[in-house]
Amino acid sequence: QSALTQPRSVSGSPGQSVTISCTGTTSDVGGYDYVSWYQHHPGKAPKLMIYGVNKRPSGVPDRFSGSKSGNTASLTISGLQAEDEADYYCCSYAGGYKGVFGGGTKVTVL
């Protein structure tokens, strides 16, 4: 499976909104509503932020939202805060009982 495509980096000022895209194919993102997003601070365990395209686990702020259109999923962070600075990864079910990650996006809070 080829990795899903994410922008290498996005940035925004505190309080602004940023959106991270995650582009796949009809064999993964476009074929299933099984997309998840992870926040990863270096040296720590990744954290589940979104699953099932747009569902938030308990404890994740509602500033984080997910969506999907065709072969592209998106994660939007509204009201950007300093602690949101991290790497973000999308992941999709890819058929054959397997998953595939995106290459990761570094979010910088200016």
Partner 1 sequence: EVQLLESGGDLVQPGGSLRLSCAASGFSVSSNYMYWVRQAPGKGLEWVSVMYSGGGSTYYSDSVKGRFTISRDNSKNTLYLQMNSLRVDDTAVYYCARDLDSSTWVPLSYFDLWGRGTLVTVSS
User: Minimum distance between the CB of residue 41 and partner 1, rounded to whole angstroms?
Assistant: 12
Angle made by CA atoms 62, 45, 5, in degrees to the nearest 5: 70
User: Minimum distance between the CB of residue 45 and partner 1, rounded to whole angstroms?
Assistant: 4
Please choose, from the candidates 18, 12, 8, 22, the residue with its C-alpha nearest in 3D space to the C-alpha of residue 108.
Answer: 12
> Cβ closer to partner 1: 18 or 89?
89
User: Minimum distance between the CB of residue 76 and partner 1, rounded to whole angstroms?
Assistant: 19
> Cβ closer to partner 1: 44 or 110?
44
The binding site for partner 1 (CB under 8 A) comprises 1, 3, 34, 36, 38, 40, 44-48, 51-52, 57, 89, 91-93, 96-104
> Cβ closer to partner 1: 19 or 51?
51
